Each structure stands twice: as structure tokens, then as C-alpha cells.
């Protein structure tokens, strides 16, 4: 392994992977500084391939994960691909595809996704999440109400009397288990393309290696194994892609 490349990935000598436990599909917290899940497993494969020790930087929201990689507090991260995050971060192509969905009350007049963006509707979202960024660009008439983390979305939606809660389908499904007065709208309002990323300041060679790594773990069945091992349903493995293509252009 090229030592210069290894130093680009891990200038401290340890691969620091930022893990966002706010995404229920990819990770869950196990205590201070500890986590398990799909992203942890994939980070472990990268560390092994580079011959490095793995250290987890555990955060509870996507915005903190982006910030950690941008500020150099972590070497790599796991994020949804979004142009607003691409100023400092070089993305891979996605390894997993998950869905953004809406929740409303049972007695809500809203029956479908295309009825959400209307004047007077308030949509609760997690600040800096992929679906917050997407809805900020696409919602024209409804109002977005932001809370700190994805785990707070449904509770805030209930407490504030908002019309809609938005989030990752699996997180919303978990929140609805003990709330029979709520329902999820059919379909999805977006596909969230979950990828890995590295600070662009680490250089094009490191970014390219990371893109090729993601294509390898998909092809080798390691992403599928991580989903199965962590008992994740409803997330799809992203199709193979050309690591030389710009992920933002897809």
C-alpha cells in the first residue's frame, strides 16, 4: 500500500470514521463514542484494507458528521450525496439507497405526497439532514420547521401541532410503532443516496481510492452482508457505478 496515500487518509496514523447515529438505517449508538451498524462495518473494511486502526467519531446528526470531516476532526464520513455538502467534501457514488417519507395524523386531509407542499402546511425536519436540504430546495409553499435531530422530528411534530413530519422511512416506522394515531403516506418524496466522503483537501488520489473502494465493497457483497448482519430492511444496495464519474452529476 502506498504510504503517501495512507497518510492522506489518516494523518494521525489512525483512520477516524465519523458515524452518524441519527440515521437509523446506518448506525445506532452503543454508548459514548461507540456505535454499530452498516457504516461501522464498512469503515472497518476500509481500515483493514489500508492497514490502519479504526477509531469512531460518533455524532447524532448528519450536520455534525459533515462538520467533523470538513474541520478535520474525522478522516472519512458517511453522508447522503447533496450539492450543498460538496464544497469541501468529495463524495463516492452511493452504496445504499433509502427513502424519505412523510407522516401525518390519521385525521389529516393530506392523502398523498403531492398534497404536502401547500400554504399553511408545516413540515418538521431535522436540521442539516439530506431531506432538509432537499426540501429546502424543492418546497415552495409549505413551511419547514427544523429540529436538532431526526429522533426529535415526530415528537416535535406532535407537540407543535404541525401538519407533516418528514424523515428516513425506517426512523419514522420505528417512531410510529406506539403511535396508532399517525400514518405514513404511501410512496416516497425522495431517494436518499448514501455515500462515503472525504475532505477534498486530502487530495484527488484519496478521493479516487475511496470511490473505488465503495464500488469494490458493493461488488464483493460486503454492503449486502452489512445490511443483513444488522437486520436492516427496506434499504436497497446502490447499483454499480463508474468511480471516474462525478457522483453529483448522477
Task: Examine the domain organization and report whether 205 and 89 are in the same domain.
Answer: yes
Task: Examine the domain organization and report whether 86 and 167 are in the same domain.
Answer: no
Q: Is 221 left (phi over 0), alpha (psi -120 to 50) or beta?
A: left
**pLDDT attached to residue 190:** 95
pLDDT tens series, the chain, 250 aa: 689 999 999 999 999 999 999 888 899 999 888 999 999 999 999 999 999 999 999 999 999 999 999 999 999 999 999 999 999 999 999 999 999 999 999 999 999 999 999 999 999 999 999 999 999 999 999 999 999 998 899 999 999 999 999 999 988 998 999 999 999 999 999 999 999 999 999 999 999 999 999 999 999 999 999 999 999 887 889 999 999 999 988 6
d(CA 198, CA 201): 8
Task: Examine the domain organization and report whether 108 and 180 are in the same domain.
Answer: yes
Task: Examine the domain organization and report whether 200 and 118 are in the same domain.
Answer: no
Domain-ending residue, one of 144, 161, 190? 190
Domain-ending residue, one of 190, 209, 224? 190
**pLDDT attached to residue 32:** 87
C-alpha cell at 186: 404511501
**pLDDT attached to residue 250:** 65
Q: What domain range includes position 59?
A: 3-96+193-249
Q: Check which CATH number belongs to the domain holding 33 and give it.
A: 3.40.190.10
**pLDDT attached to residue 24:** 83
**pLDDT attached to residue 1:** 67
Q: What is the pTM of this model?
A: 0.85
C-alpha cell at 163: 401538519
Task: Examine the domain organization and report whether 118 and 38 are in the same domain.
Answer: no
- What is the count of structural domains for the chain? 2
Task: Examine the domain organization and report whether 137 and 202 are in the same domain.
Answer: no
For 195-245, the pLDDT digits (tens) are 999 999 999 999 999 999 999 999 999 999 999 999 988 788 999 999 999
* Residue 19, beta-bridge partner list: 58
For CA atoms 226, 172, 150, 189, the dihedral sign is positive
**pLDDT attached to residue 248:** 87
Task: Examine the domain organization and report whether 108 and 171 are in the same domain.
Answer: yes
- The 3 state secondary structure assigned to the chain is CCHHHHHHHCCCCEEEEEEECCCCCCCEEEECCEEECHHHHHHHHHHHHHCCEEEEEEECCHHHHHHHHHHCCCCEEEEECCHHHCCCEEECCCCEEEEEEEEEECCCCCCCHHHCCCCCCEEEEECCCHHHHHHHHHCCCCEEEEECCHHHHHHHHHHHCCCEEEEEHHHHHHHHCCCCCEEECCCCCEEEEEEEEEEHHHCHHHHHHHHHHHHHHHHCCHHHHHHHHCCCCCCEECCCCCCCCCHHHC
Domain-ending residue, one of 190, 212, 234? 190
**pLDDT attached to residue 249:** 80
Task: Examine the domain organization and report whether 56 and 141 are in the same domain.
Answer: no
Amino acid at each position: 500500500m502506498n504510504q503517501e496515500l495512507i497518510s492522506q487518509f489518516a494523518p494521525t496514523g489512525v483512520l477516524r470514521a465519523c458515524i452518524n447515529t441519527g440515521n437509523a438505517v446506518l448506525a445506532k449508538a452503543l454508548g459514548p463514542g461507540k456505535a454499530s451498524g452498516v457504516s461501522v462495518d464498512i469503515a472497518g473494511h476500509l481500515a483493514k484494507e489500508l492497514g490502519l486502526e479504526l477509531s469512531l467519531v460518533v455524532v447524532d446528526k448528519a450536520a455534525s458528521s459533515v462538520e467533523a470531516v470538513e474541520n478535520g476532526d474525522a478522516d472519512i464520513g458517511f453522508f447522503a450525496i447533496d450539492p450543498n455538502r460538496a464544497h469541501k467534501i468529495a463524495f463516492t457514488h452511493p452504496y445504499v439507497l433509502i427513502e424519505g417519507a412523510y407522516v401525518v395524523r390519521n385525521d389529516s386531509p393530506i392523502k398523498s405526497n403531492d398534497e404536502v407542499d401547500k400554504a399553511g402546511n408545516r413540515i418538521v425536519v431535522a436540521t442539516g439532514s439530506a431531506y432538509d436540504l432537499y426540501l429546502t430546495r424543492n418546497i415552495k409553499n409549505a413551511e419547514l420547521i427544523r429540529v436538532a435531530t431526526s429522533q426529535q422530528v415526530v415528537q416535535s411534530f406532535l407537540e407543535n401541532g404541525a401538519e407533516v413530519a418528514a424523515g428516513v422511512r425506517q426512523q419514522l416506522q420505528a417512531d410510529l410503532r406506539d403511535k396508532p394515531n399517525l400514518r405514513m403516506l404511501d410512496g416516497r418524496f425522495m431517494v436518499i443516496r448514501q455515500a462515503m466522503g472525504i475532505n477534498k483537501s486530502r487530495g484527488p488520489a484519496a478521493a479516487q481510492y475511496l470511490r473505488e473502494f465503495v464500488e469494490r465493497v458493493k461488488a464483493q457483497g460486503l454492503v449486502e452482508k452489512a445490511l443483513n448482519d444488522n437486520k436492516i430492511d427496506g434499504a436497497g444496495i446502490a447499483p454499480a457505478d463508474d468511480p471516474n464519474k462525478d457522483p453529483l452529476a448522477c
